Amino acid sequence: MPAGLFIDSVVNSIVVGSLYALMAVGLTLTMAVMKLPNFAHAEYIAVGAYAALILSLSFAGNPVLVMVAAFIVAAVVALISNYLVFAPLTRRKSSMYILILASFAVGLIIRYLLFLVADTFDLFDKRIQVANEVVLQWGPLTLTNIFLWVVPISISLVILLSLLLNLTSLGRQMRAMADNATLAKVVGVPTKRVTNAAWILAGGLAGVGGALWGIYTFVDPMVGWLAILSVFAAVVLGGLTSFPGTIMGAYVVAFAENTLMQGLNHWFGLEFSFKPAVPFVIIIVVLLIRPQGLSGLFDRWRSPETMER
């Protein structure tokens, strides 16, 4: 395949993979701490994107402010959805299917509220405007400032989250709840506060992911829904509750969707209209053949000392 196409697709994969990682760590957190496969996570992404879009259109604000706004708005929406829907249902000990169905319903409501907003203010297919300039041109490799926006922010946020989980007492409490919520409660972990913190982090990071997605491509009420199954594929590939696994998974999914797809198109004539099926195939194959995903690989790398913990 031509070098230009190949390098473009690799750059693309890195950007998309970083975004997927950012969106997926929140979902992994929800899955680990709240034991909830939350399909409404898609809409936190879309809400973040719209918060960023509206702010940037009305104030042309500086990008940091836009990201912070996306984080806050999406985190608030996540907290509200927990407070109104998921917490009461969990208290009733509803089954997993009921929770999944409820998350679909929450997603549906938020998505079409966004549609109403977009319809009223004509905000379909809009981009969050950042001046597009080429910062590096080296042979067939072209990097724009958007690349320099999206990738470092995503990666540093993911690193920040892992530091928080591993080094702070809040992170320890979250991991305790992920291991055994009842036991955590018994030994005095303030489960309600920890859950709220997890929702804020999950929603907020998804929101920032959505805002960056809006800079990279476009903002539409469907952005979250279009990305969510790829994000789920990353989480599933990572073994559902493993953070390093999820991050690896995000890049694998992104590379499969872009570079691999480009290759399949070039050598086998597979049309790009099949591209959305790539994450689906990953989900099905992983769940059927290796439900622990990539996470088992990391366990083997761990030292025996940490294994015992």
Partner 1 sequence: MNIDIAATTVSLLTLFGIYAIVALSLNLQYGLGGIPNFGIALFVSIGAYTAGVTYTRLMPLLAGKDALNPCGATNMAQALALRTEILKTMPAAALGNFALTLVIAAVLGGLIGLLASFPALRLKEEWFLGLVLLVAAETARIFVRGFEPIICAHNGLSGIAPPLGWLPTAQVRQYAFLALILVILAVVYIYAERLARSPYGRVLKALRENNAVASGLGKPMARVRGQVMIIGSALAAIAGVLFVMNVGFASANDYAVPLTLDIWVMVVLGGLGNMRGALLGALIVTVLDRFTSIAAIQLNMLGLDLEFNYVRYILFGVILLLMLRYRPQGLLPEPIRTTKAGSAMAAIQARQQGNGQDVAGSEIGT
Q: What does the binding site for partner 1 look like in residue numbers (CB under 8 A)?
A: 37, 85, 88-89, 92, 94, 96-98, 100-102, 104-106, 108-109, 111-113, 115-116, 119, 229, 232, 236, 271, 273-274, 276-277, 280-281, 283-284, 287-288, 291-292
At closest approach, how far in Å is the CB of 84 from partner 1? 8
At closest approach, how far in Å is the CB of 225 from partner 1? 8
Residue with Cβ nearer partner 1 (60 or 289):
289
At closest approach, how far in Å is the CB of 279 from partner 1? 8
At closest approach, how far in Å is the CB of 260 from partner 1? 16
Return the axis-axis angle of helices 96-121 and 63-81, rounded to nearest 10°: 140
Question: Which pair of structure tokens corresponds to residue 305?
Answer: 């000392």
Residue with Cβ nearer partner 1 (24 or 66):
24
At closest approach, how far in Å is the CB of 15 from partner 1? 23
Residue with Cβ nearer partner 1 (59 or 280):
280
Exposure of 60 by Cβ count < 10 A (0-12 exposed, 13-18 middle, 19+ buried)?
A: exposed
Residue with Cβ nearer partner 1 (197 or 249):
249
Residue with Cβ nearer partner 1 (152 or 276):
276
Residue with Cβ nearer partner 1 (216 or 232):
232
At closest approach, how far in Å is the CB of 45 from partner 1? 16
